[in-house]
Structure 1
Amino acid sequence: MNTAGHPEATAHRGLELTPFRGLRYDPDRVGSLAAVTSPPYDVVVRPDGLLHLESADPYNIVRLILPQAATPQARNAQAAATLRRWRSEGVLTADPEPGLYVYEQRAPDGLLQRGLIGALRVTDPSDGVVLPHEDVMPHIVADRADLMRATSANLEPLLLTYRGADDTTALVEEAAERPPLLATTTEDGFHHRLWAVTAPADLARVRAGLARHQALIADGHHRWATYRRLRAEHPSPGPWDHGLVLLVDTARYPLRVRAIHRLLHTVPVSDAVAALAGHARVRRLDTPLPEALDALAAAAGAGNAYLLAGDGAFHLVDRLDPGLLARTVRRDRPEAWRTLDATVLHAALLAHVWQVPEDSAAHVSYIHDTAATVDKAVRDGGTAVLMHPVREEVVRDLARQGVTMPRKSTSFGPKPASGLVLRALDL
């Protein structure tokens, strides 16, 4: 990246989390805080999930992160106008002083996650401060950049993990003993709480605690790439030097790693199965989804494996032809990368066997929810390709080697709810 205008870029090492005046919903102006939240923009399953969120409350954050209009320019202009209107009407109000925000999520099964939301200094890849682990799709980065330019805001935090900044983690837990700024329970059963950290001594503790740490991008590669693009476009110092993030210490609060599934819009299951003849073993499973996923997990322990769905049954794909893999998978990457399910799927199956252009949204969608992927394949007549998750240690090891995985290889969670705190750059 061109860092002209950013002479200080090489002067900072480690994570630098900066306080900001959070922009938050006034609970007296909305139906409920839960009703105005949304999953991150790329987790919303459209159009069903989008329509559900839009109808939950007229001020739902999805109207900003996924505005609906006839053209991209109109969508972004609409989001900017909506944000200005909500601020002028007092629906969204700025906190009186800058701070960091302790954010807690508690899952229905008891899983607890806590972290710090702040404005992180955007660094170059060569600095080794923020480690990506997945490739990005340029058209999505361009789309997110256009939205951020139009709104002049970071509308939702991306999720970063670090390990073992003990004093910072202690501060997070101390804050969680106080009454929160807000508390709400979203319809998925997750409990959310938020606290502000504004005392200069506490902010200094965080600054010192994170100074020698690096972070792994757990969720939000496209938003991080967007931050980097926008930082390069604007003079420094300035508000574009930072981007909104949630930092979680996974030594204290381990994340869950789930797979992101593929939906092939133009390939019926019968065609997908037929094309695999001679390239892989395919077994039909007339079982419910949970049992089919158990079979996928067992097969994934011995090699690359996938579960195809969309015709009322499941088809377990494994034992791929070694000759096919030798011909299609790049050899200039580590073995751990070459044997990833996502690597093999994209290089061998999508590109060679099914001949599906992975960069086209008309041909491939990426969906986090397993049941939703299957249901949409059944409705649309396409093929759901269900994946088995990658272990976190594999992700981290590849990231430290500077090797990125294929796009949408992993889904770390729980993901932060969008709509609890925003960052307006004019603040």
Structure 2
Amino acid sequence: MNTAGHSEATARRGLELTPFRGLRYDPERVGSLAAVTSPPYDVVVRPDGLHHLQSADPHNIVRLILPQAGTPSAGNEQAADTLRRWLAEGVLATDPEPGLYIYEQSDGDGMLQRGIIGALRVSEPAEGVVLPHEDVMPPVVADRAALMRATSANLEPLLLTYRGNGVTAEVIERAAERPPLLATTTEDGYRHRLWSLTDPTDVDLVQSDMAHRQALIADGHHRWATYLRLRAEHPSPSPWDYGLVLLVDTIRYPLRVRAIHRLLHGLPVADALSPLDGLFRVQRLEAPLSEALEALANAACEGNAFLLAGDGAFHLIDRPDPDLLARTVPADRPAAWRTLDATVLHAALLEHVWHIPEDSPAHIAYIHDAAATVAKAERTGSTAVLMHPVREEVVRDLARQGVTMPRKSTSFGPKPASGLVLRALDL
């Protein structure tokens, strides 16, 4: 669809945000609110982080978003049983009236981010209202869909951004002057606060403002694709027409964009380096992680660059052979897409040099933390591929052109903590 088409679609129908009765932990029934939260399901480093969260509190949300059982279907049934039990025991309780929720995150370094959580009407990418920027892996969508079907719940909000600085921002600022519904500080140092927005005037103001907006999916492409699949499975109108989201105005609160790194299971660093001769420049760096990432950032200013690790050192690979790129990178996309590090990694290195299927969990894992990726590579004799982040404006421009980036190309943050507010679809 051309740009004019997107503009018309946005003017005709923008973001349709709806209040809902949030499902929240009763602070008196759990050890602490911080102990029951989790990062989003795809950020949890498994199995280390999973075990840590499970032992943090018997009611940690990870038992719902990443249930552990012998088979996926058994895990989903286990999550559904756990959710029902926590509801019956009063561990989770439904707020008395529908509302939108104001969510704030802050840290000790002056970072402050506020957004609004609500149930958003699900729309197809062609409608130009919610823009994806990454491809998804069908097995992950199937996994998330099965979990949502079993629990009949949106267990964690995905993160959307929009360009506003209008009336919604004013409503959010006013709400944040009141005492919050909850406040907690998680072990990563982030402080979280949540307010409910139930006043009909304020809700109307937000809904009217959002009706003219377009959003970019910052984090949660697989969950958005899951919402689309589940909406198609249920006759409309139904609660499945909507999905739980956090909307952040990046004019008022710019997000940080970080890279998502790759762990190549069972590929020793030496075996990853040997076929690169003549295809990339390779430099061995005897340096700590911080200095190696700085060298990566400097190299990325000049072109495609990656760090390989797992053998106790870092190997900076850059200056790819132009002939390799011409042979492997599809030519039918915009130049901004063809020159992305993720494009070169997936098209040239994974597919043609290392012959690694990008959608096989047995061969490749996607990890958000660089140090954790390196540690797992060193422990398992595998190769870590560390990436440099993409700028937000590049992501947004490609999304507006209808061009999706390779999967797991970006990590926008800070991400909402899972476990602060859930949405049950059968209320």
Name the TM-score class by shorter chain: over 0.9
Secondary structure of residue in 2 paired with 1:120? strand
Change (3 A) 1:124 1:11: farther
Structure 2 CA distance for aligned equivalents of residues 125 and 358 of structure 1: 24
Instruction: Kindly state the Cα deviation for residue 126 of structure 1 after the two structures are TM-superposed.
Output: 1.4
What's 1:364 paired with?
364
Instruction: Kindly state the Cα deviation for residue 109 of structure 1 after the two structures are TM-superposed.
Output: 1.5
User: Is 2:104–2:112's contact at 8 Å kept on the other side of the alignment?
Assistant: yes
User: Is 1:259–1:410's contact at 8 Å kept on the other side of the alignment?
Assistant: yes
- How do 1:1-40 and structure 2 match up within 5 A? 13-40=13-40
Instruction: Kindly state the Cα deviation for residue 108 of structure 1 after the two structures are TM-superposed.
Output: 2.7
Residue 243 of structure 2 aligns to which amino acid in structure 1? G
Instruction: Kindly state the Cα deviation for residue 62 of structure 1 after the two structures are TM-superposed.
Output: 0.1
What's 1:68 paired with?
68
Secondary structure of residue in 2 paired with 1:133? coil
What's 2:118 paired with?
118
What is the CA deviation profile of residues 120-140 of structure 1, one whole-angstrom value per residue up to 9, with x for unaligned ones? Answer: 000111110000000000000
Instruction: Kindly state the Cα deviation for residue 148 of structure 1 after the two structures are TM-superposed.
Output: 0.2
Instruction: Kindly state the Cα deviation for residue 164 of structure 1 after the two structures are TM-superposed.
Output: 1.3
What is the CA deviation profile of residues 331-356 of structure 1, one whole-angstrom value per residue up to 9, with x for unaligned ones? Answer: 00000000000000000000011111
User: Is 2:103–2:192's contact at 8 Å kept on the other side of the alignment?
Assistant: yes
Structure 2 CA distance for aligned equivalents of residues 342 and 294 of structure 1: 19
User: Is 1:262–1:367's contact at 8 Å kept on the other side of the alignment?
Assistant: yes
What is the CA deviation profile of residues 93-139 of structure 1, one whole-angstrom value per residue up to 9, with x for unaligned ones? Answer: 00000000000000231200000000000011111000000000000
Residue 15 of structure 1 aligns to which amino acid in structure 2? L
What's 1:285 paired with?
285
User: Is 2:10–2:214's contact at 8 Å kept on the other side of the alignment?
Assistant: no
Instruction: Kindly state the Cα deviation for residue 181 of structure 1 after the two structures are TM-superposed.
Output: 0.1
Structure 1 CA distance for aligned equivalents of residues 425 and 12 of structure 2: 22
Instruction: Kindly state the Cα deviation for residue 11 of structure 1 after the two structures are TM-superposed.
Output: 11
Residue 291 of structure 1 aligns to which amino acid in structure 2? E
What is the CA deviation profile of residues 279-338 of structure 1, one whole-angstrom value per residue up to 9, with x for unaligned ones? Answer: 100000000000000000000000000000000000000010000000000000000000
Structure 1 CA distance for aligned equivalents of residues 11 and 229 of structure 2: 19
- How do 1:11-410 and structure 2 match up within 5 A? 13-410=13-410
Structure 2 residue 426 is matched with structure 1 residue 423: no
Structure 2 CA distance for aligned equivalents of residues 310 and 59 of structure 1: 35
Residue 335 of structure 1 aligns to which amino acid in structure 2? A
User: Is 1:165–1:210's contact at 8 Å kept on the other side of the alignment?
Assistant: no
Residue 235 of structure 2 aligns to which amino acid in structure 1? P
Residue 93 of structure 1 aligns to which amino acid in structure 2? A
User: Is 1:165–1:209's contact at 8 Å kept on the other side of the alignment?
Assistant: no
Structure 2 CA distance for aligned equivalents of residues 289 and 135 of structure 1: 29
What is the CA deviation profile of residues 21-50 of structure 1, one whole-angstrom value per residue up to 9, with x for unaligned ones? Answer: 000000000000000000000000000000
User: Is 1:16–1:207's contact at 8 Å kept on the other side of the alignment?
Assistant: yes
Secondary structure of residue in 2 paired with 1:28? helix
Residue 264 of structure 1 aligns to which amino acid in structure 2? L
Instruction: Kindly state the Cα deviation for residue 10 of structure 1 after the two structures are TM-superposed.
Output: 11
Structure 2 CA distance for aligned equivalents of residues 11 and 173 of structure 1: 26
Structure 1 CA distance for aligned equivalents of residues 84 and 281 of structure 2: 56
User: Is 2:11–2:212's contact at 8 Å kept on the other side of the alignment?
Assistant: no
TM-score under structure 1 length normalisation: 0.97
User: Is 1:115–1:246's contact at 8 Å kept on the other side of the alignment?
Assistant: yes
Structure 2 CA distance for aligned equivalents of residues 172 and 12 of structure 1: 25
What's 1:411 paired with?
411
User: Is 1:114–1:253's contact at 8 Å kept on the other side of the alignment?
Assistant: yes
Instruction: Kindly state the Cα deviation for residue 12 of structure 1 after the two structures are TM-superposed.
Output: 6.7
Instruction: Kindly state the Cα deviation for residue 257 of structure 1 after the two structures are TM-superposed.
Output: 0.1
Instruction: Kindly state the Cα deviation for residue 254 of structure 1 after the two structures are TM-superposed.
Output: 0.2
Runs of 4+ in 1 over 4 A off after TM superposition: 9-12
Residue 311 of structure 1 aligns to which amino acid in structure 2? D
TM-score under structure 2 length normalisation: 0.97
Change (3 A) 1:400 1:10: closer
**Matched pairs, number:** 419
